[in-house]
Amino acid sequence: MALASWYHRDISRVCAEDLLARAGRDGSYLVRDSESVPGAYALCLLFQRHVHTYRILPDADGLLAVQSTQGVQVNCFRTLEDLVLGYQQPHKGLVTPLLYAVAPDTDTGDESSDDEKPTPAPINAVSFMGPTTKPAPHAIFLEKLQDLNTSNAAGDVISLLNDYLFSELPLDIENMHKGATTLRHLKRTLVTACQGLNSEIDLTLASLETLAKVFDHPSCTLTSTKAQGPDMEIDNLLCKISALVSLLSSLEKKVLKALQDAVTNHNLAAQPSPPPPDPTPAAVTPIRHKARQLPVHSFQVKMVRYGRQTVSVDVDSGVLLFDRKAGSFGIERVSHDRIVQIVKFQNSPAKVHLVVDGYRNTPREMTFESAQKCESFCHLLLLMKSTHAQLDQPDLVSVFVGTWNMGGSPPPRSLQSWATCRGLGRTPDESTALLPHDIYALGTQENPQGEREWTEHVKATLRSYTQVDFKLVAVQSLWNIRLAVFVKPEHESGISHVNTASVKTGLGNTLGNKGA
Kindly report, residue by residue over 310-327, the tens digit of the pLDDT.
888 888 888 888 887 655
Domain boundaries, the chain: 7-107+120-125, 137-193, 297-388, 399-421+433-495
Report which of residues 431 and 289 the model is more confident about.
Answer: 431
Structure-model confidence comparison of residues 284 and 103, the more confident one: 103
Higher-confidence residue: 470 or 121? 470
* pLDDT at residue 132 in the model: 36
Q: What is the mean pLDDT of residues 329-339?
A: 81
Confidence of residue 433 (pLDDT cuts 50, 70, 90): low
- pLDDT band at 206, cuts 50/70/90? confident
Lowest mean pLDDT among 249-258, 262-271, 365-374: 262-271
CATH superfamily of domain region 7-107+120-125: SH2 domain (3.30.505.10)
- The helix/strand/coil state of 184 is helix
- pLDDT tier at 434 (50, 70, 90 boundaries)? low
In percent, the amount of the chain with pLDDT more than 90 equals 9
pLDDT reading at 170 higher than 90: no
Per the model's pLDDT, the better-predicted residue between 196 and 87 turns out to be 87
How many Å apart are CA 478 and CA 412, to the nearest integer? Answer: 23
Domain 297-388 bears CATH identifier 2.30.29.30: yes
Which range (129-133, 252-256, 332-336) has the least confidence?
Answer: 129-133
Confidence of residue 149 (pLDDT cuts 50, 70, 90): low
Position 287 scores a pLDDT of 42
Which segments of 267-370 does DSSP mark as H helices, in order? none
Give the mean model confidence (pLDDT) for residues 329-348: 84
Split at pLDDT 50, 70, 90, the class of 246 is: confident
- Residues 448-473 have pLDDT tens digits of 888 999 999 999 999 888 888 999 99
d(CA 143, CA 223): 42
Q: Which of the four pLDDT bands, split at 50, 70 and 90, describes residue 232?
A: low
Buried b (16+ CB within 10 A) or exposed e, 261-299: eeeeeeeeeeeeeeeeeeeeeeeeeeeeeeeeebebbbb
Could you read off the pLDDT of 379-407 as tens digits, one per residue? 888 888 877 876 666 667 888 899 999 88
- What CA–CA distance (Å, rounded) separates 43 from 17? 11
Distance CA 114, CA 127 (A): 29
User: Quick check: 504 pLDDT over 90?
Assistant: no
Do the Cβ atoms of 453 and 444 come closer than 8 Å? no
Q: Which residue has the higher pLDDT, 188 or 218?
A: 188
For residue 32, pLDDT beyond 70:
yes
Give the span between the Cα atoms of 113 and 118, in whole angstroms. 10
243 versus 22: the higher-pLDDT residue is 22
Contact criterion met (CB below 8 Å) for 463 and 291: no
What is the rounded CA–CA span in Å between residue 171 and residue 169? 5
Write the single-letter amino acid at 421: C
Given a cut of 80, whether residue 275 has pLDDT beyond it is no
pTM of the model: 0.37
d(CA 434, CA 466): 8
Q: Provide mean pLDDT across the span 245-259.
A: 66
Average pLDDT of the chain is: 75
Q: What share of the chain is helix, strand, coil (3-state, %, to 5)?
A: 35, 20, 45
